[in-house]
Structure 1
Amino acid sequence: MNNLTSGPALFIQPHYDDVPLSCGGTVALLADRGHEPRMVTVFAGELVDEMVGPFAAWKHERWKVTDAEQVLAVRRAEDADAARTLGAPVRWLGMPDAIYRGDRYKSDHELFGPLIGEELELAIHLAEEIRHLPEWREGTRVFVPLGVGSHVDHQLVFEAGRRLAAQGAQVFAYEDCPYAIHSPAGVAARLAALGGAVGEPVLVPIGDALEKRLDAIACYRSQVPVIFRFTADFRRAVAEFAIRTGGASGPAERFWPVRPPGSR
């Protein structure tokens, strides 16, 4: 079994919340054991009003932050608080979120649909940027989203992970939450779509680190009411999912080894 709670690790999240939501317990375990994990938020570029179209403006209204400058400040502050809670520094990269990439994605239907072919170039660029980060060390294990829920940004970061795997990096995909919580069939659908792109899953029992994961999620005050609109108690929903995932091992998080393009 792979030991995912030792050694250098980079946790790559598309947005300001994906790692704490999905695998914050594993990050906290690594930090508690002195392995100094790092978080990287990909789509965290500077934001100006001209980038905010009708679809993005609708998203901002749901977050109850509407000014572009305020959106950036609020979301970065939340991300920094969550990272501190887990014990892992976070770096913000300069790519724009899908909702700010011109007219490519103008509705949830498009945002959670197929990745536009031309965007695969971004995955190649992202893989190279990750390898040249100051946090990169020999033997670094990389964590990327599996892509449950099919958000295009999650798909794009997963593809970057495949390219890192092709360059010899050890890459694992985490189970995107809360998508995996509120739509369990989405996990099976994503795995079926990926085919041989991932191997058999690995469980990481997180024990008491579950509480740090929950506390880190709570830092995203603008997001929790929106992304957990299916429940009145996000802590209970996340905890119960972790307990179901781990079974006899107690609360756990699940990861899939990522294979390079062309693998079967």
Structure 2
Amino acid sequence: MLRPSTTMHFDQSFQVNIMERKNYKLLEQIVRNKIPCLFISPHFDDAALSCGGLISYLSDKTKVVVVNVFTEANEPPYTLSTKVFLGRCGYKNAKKLFEQRKLEDSLSFKNLKVQIINLGFVDALWRKDANVGLLIKFLGRFIPEIIHVYKTGRLHVLKGKVSEKDDQIMLQIKKRISDIVRGENAVLFLPLSIGNHVDHVIVKDVCSQLNLTKVFWLDYPYSLKSKVTNGFWDKYKFNTLSFNENQDDRMKLIKGYKTQISGLFPGGNIKLVPEKYFWKV
């Protein structure tokens, strides 16, 4: 079974030191050899948030594909956390929200030469336990939390601990992405899972097992608050890239996700920082 890696916690001083080095060699190789680039985005907005400038830069130079993994919600009953999330987005119906998010994603990238693939897996906040008994299923009508894999957002989804009940989903995601990249000498761009959202962790862990060049991105805006200190960095030496081109395009992409702005940026104040990328030496 695919199991999640250790939850990461960031140390700001280490982050600053590693960012001081710039390495454009891989980027030059991608452009020169027109190597396909796949950005594996946990949710509709993640690739644009963290990599919008690079996606814009590469889109007219090579094949660029954005693969959105968790793009669906489940039917009611909703947990308290899902109701809070829906309210923050200005919706009461999750299906309608995700239809709008899909539209936002499509419209945001419409002016770029980017292919979008939506895998259709259910977002962590809405994932239900398929193996509960009849009694629990009945009680779940009144206490929805007991039939969901992740009961709450803050205490479960954002803790970075992937449930064993997601093992099958992880295998399915690995197969779907493997099928997409089959025969391609592609570069995979994927999240470091800063912020410890389980969907980000799943994407990182699944894609890390694929036999392709992998470039990790620093999850924005979660990287503004989170810190990292564990052995993930000690195992490998990393090339790093601080990318600050095409940031106007990145801002336009981000502003296209109107349902998410208030939750991600209180007051609507979007403070961009350079995009950060890491790959093994």
Structure 1 position 20 matched with structure 2 position 48: yes
Structure 1 position 157 matched with structure 2 position 203: yes
1:127 alignment partner, SS class: helix
1:141 to 187, 193, 199: 187
2:70 alignment partner, SS class: coil
Kept in 2: contact 1:86–1:216 (CA 8 A):
no
Tell me how large the CA RMSD over aligned residues is.
2.2
Is the helix fraction higher in 1 or 2?
Answer: 1
Residue 73 (structure 1) aligns with: 99
Residue 188 (structure 1) aligns with: 228
Kept in 2: contact 1:41–1:93 (CA 8 A):
yes
Kept in 2: contact 1:85–1:216 (CA 8 A):
no
Residue 238 (structure 2) aligns with: 200
The letter of the residue matching 1:151 is H
Provide the C-alpha distance between the structure 2 equivalents of 1:119 and 1:193, rounded to a whole number of angstroms: 24
- Structure 1 residue 129, shift from structure 2 partner: 0.9
Kept in 2: contact 1:197–1:258 (CA 8 A):
no
The letter of the residue matching 1:24 is G
Kept in 1: contact 2:149–2:165 (CA 8 A):
no
Kept in 2: contact 1:8–1:137 (CA 8 A):
no
Instruction: Describe the shift of the 1:132–1:42 C-alpha distance in structure 2 as closer, same or farther (beyond 3 A).
Output: same
Instruction: Describe the shift of the 1:123–1:69 C-alpha distance in structure 2 as closer, same or farther (beyond 3 A).
Output: closer
Kept in 2: contact 1:146–1:154 (CA 8 A):
yes
Instruction: Describe the shift of the 1:179–1:104 C-alpha distance in structure 2 as closer, same or farther (beyond 3 A).
Output: same
Residue 253 (structure 2) aligns with: 216
- Structure 1 residue 137, shift from structure 2 partner: 4.6
Cα deviation 1:76-98 (Å, max 9, x = unaligned)? 01111222244312111121000
2:67 alignment partner, SS class: strand
1:104 alignment partner, SS class: coil
Cα deviation 1:131-161 (Å, max 9, x = unaligned)? 112x655211111110100000000000011
- Structure 1 residue 193, shift from structure 2 partner: 5.2
Between stretches 16-25 and 86-95, larger displacement belongs to 86-95
Structure 1 position 175 matched with structure 2 position 218: yes
Residue 106 (structure 1) aligns with: 151
Residue 269 (structure 2) aligns with: 233
Specify the structure having the higher radius of gyration (Cα): 2
Q: Given the two structures, how large is their TM-score scaled by the length of structure 2?
A: 0.75
Q: Given the two structures, how large is their TM-score scaled by the length of structure 1?
A: 0.80
Residue 249 (structure 1) aligns with: none
Instruction: Describe the shift of the 1:198–1:50 C-alpha distance in structure 2 as closer, same or farther (beyond 3 A).
Output: farther
The letter of the residue matching 1:89 is Q
Runs of 4+ residues deviating >6 angstroms: none
What 5-or-longer segments of structure 1 have no aligned partner? 243-252, 260-264
Provide the C-alpha distance between the structure 2 equivalents of 1:30 and 1:136, rounded to a whole number of angstroms: 21
Kept in 1: contact 2:74–2:126 (CA 8 A):
no
- Structure 1 residue 67, shift from structure 2 partner: 1.6
2:122 alignment partner, SS class: coil
What 5-or-longer segments of structure 2 have no aligned partner? 1-22, 129-147
Cα deviation 1:171-214 (Å, max 9, x = unaligned)? 11111010012x1xx2424xx2534565414215342x111111
